[in-house]
Copies of this chain bind each other. A is one copy, B any other.
């Protein structure tokens, strides 16, 4: 079973204590599909400008990623620039240029409806809901089996009503710790996760950066640390890479029970841990299945009590 991802393909200019990268390939859909491609076929829907070097996505095509849903529009590609603090956790946005991404209206083709797993990356919640509506087959009750989404402070602040409407229709919310607190206006992550479950999702995954990740469902709670990386080079895309490993595992296994969700968390963490080792998608480009398997086994030893 495959995965449909709707998100951004972008240029990132990033400065970290370990160096910098200018106009490097980034974007939520790029990171997500690079990670998920190790687990299942992926269909990408996104938009780029005609300044985008399509060859830079060849490494995705060589795996199981169909990028034919990438719309090329006259104009410039979405650009983000940011700088990370010494702790590699706090970051500051220097510049955001939406460019062709502004007014992005994804249009699903018939083949996109074949996927049972859908990831709505961090986007305008109106757009997320529109994709979800299109992803339904014959009628609105025939929806994909597992829909996950991400969001950010910008939508929580400016589009709360729309976001809540989107959340009522998704199965899994994958969200940063600070944004989980902001979403339900609480200071305690345990309470926050429980309250998010009341908004619709049957599972909440809270990403805590270098501190790990937490899964909360109505019946279960599961927490893991992050895989210990001594030399973090660039944390950009870690969250989307996590989501890629997480959804990838669920799609490959075809399961959605607590056991599968726990295993998906581990795979998400492993994929994110590779991504932070280099700028842009470089580490994901060179990554092999053997490396993933090896790190997964080591990580299991590190988290099994």
Q: Give residues 174-214 of A contacting B (CB, 8 Å).
A: 187-191, 194, 208, 210-212, 214
Asked whether, in the complex, the Cβ of A230 is within 8 Å of the Cβ of B190, the reply is yes
Residue A266 lies at the interface, judged by CB distance under 8 Å to chain B: yes
Residue A88 lies at the interface, judged by CB distance under 8 Å to chain B: yes
Asked whether, in the complex, the Cβ of A212 is within 8 Å of the Cβ of B210, the reply is no
Q: Which of A123-131, A160-168, A220-228 contacts B (4 or more CB under 8 A)?
A: A220-228
Asked whether, in the complex, the Cβ of A302 is within 8 Å of the Cβ of B225, the reply is no
Q: Tell me the bound Cα distance from A301 to B219 in angstroms.
A: 12
Asked whether, in the complex, the Cβ of A305 is within 8 Å of the Cβ of B266, the reply is yes
Residue A21 lies at the interface, judged by CB distance under 8 Å to chain B: no
- B-contact bits for A94-110, CB 8 A (1 contact / 0 none): 00000000000000000
Asked whether, in the complex, the Cβ of B232 is within 8 Å of the Cβ of A188, the reply is yes
Q: Tell me the bound Cα distance from A301 to B304 in angstroms.
A: 11
Asked whether, in the complex, the Cβ of B187 is within 8 Å of the Cβ of A87, the reply is yes
Across the interface, name the chain B residue whose C-beta is closest to A212. B225
List residues of chain B with CB within 8 A of the CB of A224: 223, 225, 303, 305
CB proximity of A180 to chain B, nearest CB, Å? 13
Q: Tell me the bound Cα distance from A262 to B304 in angstroms.
A: 9
Which of A189, A265, A300 has the most chain B CB atoms inside 10 A of its CB? A189
Q: Tell me the bound Cα distance from A194 to B305 in angstroms.
A: 21
Asked whether, in the complex, the Cβ of A221 is within 8 Å of the Cβ of B211, the reply is no
CB proximity of A126 to chain B, nearest CB, Å? 32
The oligomer's copy count stands at 2
List residues of chain B with CB within 8 A of the CB of A226: 223
Across the interface, name the chain B residue whose C-beta is closest to A300. B305
Q: Give residues 271-305 of A contacting B (CB, 8 Å).
A: 300-305
Residue A218 lies at the interface, judged by CB distance under 8 Å to chain B: no
Residue A55 lies at the interface, judged by CB distance under 8 Å to chain B: no
Which of A226, A231, A262, A303 has the most chain B CB atoms inside 10 A of its CB? A303
Residue A229 lies at the interface, judged by CB distance under 8 Å to chain B: yes
CB proximity of A272 to chain B, nearest CB, Å? 14
List residues of chain B with CB within 8 A of the CB of A212: 211-212, 223, 225
Question: Can you sample 28 A-B contacts with CB below 8 Å?
Answer: A87-B187, A88-B187, A88-B188, A188-B230, A189-B210, A190-B229, A190-B230, A194-B230, A208-B211, A212-B212, A212-B223, A212-B225, A214-B225, A214-B228, A222-B305, A223-B224, A223-B225, A223-B228, A223-B302, A223-B303, A224-B225, A224-B303, A225-B225, A266-B305, A300-B305, A303-B303, A303-B305, A304-B305
The 10 tightest CB contacts between A and B, nearest first, are A223-B225, A211-B211, A190-B228, A190-B230, A86-B187, A191-B230, A221-B302, A87-B187, A262-B305, A266-B305
